[in-house]
Amino acid sequence: MKYDSVLKQIKPDKYEKEKVTKLAGKIIAVLNHLAEKNDIPAEATLVGSVAKGTWLSGKADVDIFLKFPLETSMRELKEKGLYLGYECIKKIGGYGEERFASHPYVTGKLEGYEIDFVPCYSIKSSKQLKSAVDRTILHNIYIQQNLKKDQIDEVLLLKKFMDSVECYGSEFKVGGFAGYLCELLILKYDDFEGVLNAAAQEWKPGLIIDLENLKTGEKFSEPLVCVDPVDENRNVAAALTLKKMAEFVIASRNFSNKPQEDYFSTRNIYTNPESILKQFKQRKTKTILITFKAPDIPPDALYAQLEKTKIALTKKLVDEGFMVEKSSYWTNENDLAIFILEFVLWSLPAYQKHWGPKIWNQVHQNKFLEKYGEDAYLDQDRWVVELPWKYEDAYSFLKFILAEENIHHLKTGKQIKNELRRTYKINDIDEVISDMELGVLNFLFKFLNPNWHLWR
């Protein structure tokens, strides 16, 4: 297959390149000037996909690292780094705010681009690492030194393909392939088709990619190991889940079987509430939505807490005797979060067997009989009593467990716990589906059609 028309769409054109380069240059100049003027021993450097030339058209994130000498104290580095970021934004004119990764940084919007100002140490090798962000400098150098010019297109194709089949990005929500990992994969397999063929034909969990022959791959236990060429103690694919690795393999096989340009754009979902409800009805299960206000925390934290809470909720329900066929969650990352729970067994018998002791030890049995008297009966040689079940259906159990005095039994993040308890609503899917935003419909469609995104 020819990729010309794909590249035409995803590769930044002259104008975009010029604009981004000019903006980056201007920012760096301002920063370095500011540093000099204020006697701050920092040097601004462009890193990330813009520096490497591997950004997808329209998706340039300008990452500026402010390199400080190794002898700078962490406190001074943070303080002066953040100062430079804010001052630069003020000078050029834009809006900035502080964020946290492994340490704080400033992010701003300038001329329509998102700019990150990240203070770091000016290290020459991974042995000098003081914080996780420092490594980025080395990544940049490594890619610039090793990635051939004509491989940049291959990186772009791979990133775009991965993005379209929903495997791109190492954030919690995706658990997929980071941009740097894409670049290393191109270095390993030469080009886009090389990566896809290898994934389709050869990949298995336990695969080790070790470009610099550092021989530390065995140390890692993740499904895919890609030893960081600049740091033998780091697996670049650490965030990749088995699920996403498998999905990429299947998408690669699907593409190889039938290469199509469609694979370079997200697959559209055309659906409507009626058709979704019809599918749910056909499943002959009971499906509910728990909607609540998403807490105001960064997406990575939010998704991690949603995942944890989903697991905790499902476990509690199953422990109580209900049968959950499938569960998932969704958030618009703003004001709405949703759990979906599909039940095979939604309502329970009115009574629950409660097992007592065997009859042979009279001391034990008498305690049991004092409590339950003539309600107790024998099952073989063991006492048992049928007690009224506290929760006639999963709805009453969920109401119980989400109440203020009980929600601490649910293992979940702190912020989600509070919002969930205060704002939750439980509805049958058909009661609320027509009030839902499009994102929810798409989520429900994918819940019903898993792996829709892997085929074209």
Looking at the Cβ atoms of 213 and 282, the one nearer to a second copy is 282
Rule CB under 8 A: choose which of 36, 101, 351, 387 binds a second copy. 351
Q: Which of 71, 319, 374, 404 binds a second copy (CB under 8 A)?
A: 374
Structure tokens belonging to residue 324 = 């959950």
Q: Are 21 and 53 in contact (CB under 8 A)?
A: no
325 touches a second copy by CB under 8 A? yes
Beta partners for residue 106, in sequence order: 98, 117
Binding of a second copy by 204 (CB under 8 A): yes
Count residues binding a second copy (CB under 8 A): 39
- Report the length, in residues, of the chain: 456
Stretch that binds a second copy, among 27-35, 302-310, 374-382, 417-425 (CB under 8 A): 374-382
CA 283 to chain CA centroid, nearest Å? 29
Stretch that binds a second copy, among 135-143, 145-153, 166-174, 346-354 (CB under 8 A): 346-354
State which residue, 32 or 285, has the beta carbon closest to a second copy: 285
Element at 248 (helix H, strand E) = helix 242-257
Q: Is 70 helix (H, G, I), strand (E, B) or coil?
A: coil
Taking CB under 8 A as the criterion, the residue among 243, 278, 315, 409 binding a second copy is 243
**For helices 414-423 and 299-319, angle between their N-to-C axes, nearest 10 degrees:** 70
Q: Does 349 bind a second copy (CB under 8 A)?
A: yes
- Cα–Cα nearest to 2, from 234, 317, 260, 191: 260
Piece of the chain touching a second copy by CB under 8 A; list 75-83, 124-132, 248-256, 414-422: 248-256
In the complex, what is the shortest distance from the CB of residue 452 to a second copy, in angstroms, rounded to a whole number?
9
Smallest separation (angstroms) from a second copy to the CB of 352: 10
Stretch that binds a second copy, among 19-27, 83-91, 200-208, 303-311 (CB under 8 A): 200-208
The answer to whether 182 touches 192, Cβ cutoff 8 Å, is no
Terminal Cα distance for the chain, rounded: 15
Collapsing DSSP to helix, strand or coil, 36 comes out as helix
Q: Is 445 in the site for a second copy (CB under 8 A)?
A: no
Amino acid identity, residue 129? L
* Residue 270 near a second copy by CB under 8 A: no
User: Cβ neighbours of residue 148 under 8 Å, at least 6 residues apart?
Assistant: none
Nearer to a second copy, 107 or 287 (CB): 287
318 binds a second copy (CB under 8 A): no
Return the residues of window 13-72 that contact a second copy according to CB under 8 A. none
Of the candidate spans 84-92, 163-171, 197-205, 308-316, the one that interacts with a second copy by CB under 8 A turns out to be 197-205
Alpha carbon separation from 58 to 93, 114, 140, 182 (Å, rounded): 21, 11, 21, 18
Please report how close the Cβ of residue 358 comes to a second copy at its closest, in angstroms. 8
143, 147, 153, 159 alpha-carbon torsion, rounded to 10°: -40
Candidate segments 25-33, 172-180, 201-209, 231-239, binder of a second copy by CB under 8 A: 201-209
Does residue 7 belong to the site contacting a second copy (CB under 8 A)?
no
Q: Phi and psi dihedrals of 289, rounded to 5?
A: -115, 135
Cβ neighbors of 124 (< 8 A, separation 6 or more) are none
Q: CB nearer to a second copy: give 117 or 397.
A: 397
Per CB under 8 A, which of residues 285..304 are in contact with a second copy?
A: 285
- Report the alpha-carbon distance of residue 246 to residue 223 in Å, rounded: 10
Confirm or reject binding of residue 201 to a second copy (CB under 8 A).
yes
Is position 359 an interface residue for a second copy (rule: CB under 8 A)? yes
Any residues with CB less than 8 A from the CB of 239 and at least 6 apart, and which? 170, 171, 175, 176, 178
Contact by Cβ (8 Å): 61, 108: no
The residue within the footprint of a second copy, chosen from 283, 408, 409, 411 (CB under 8 A), is 283
Q: Give the binding site for a second copy (CB under 8 A).
A: 201, 203-205, 223, 242-243, 245-247, 249-250, 253, 282-285, 323, 325, 344-345, 347-351, 359-360, 362, 374, 377-378, 380-381, 392, 450-451, 454-455
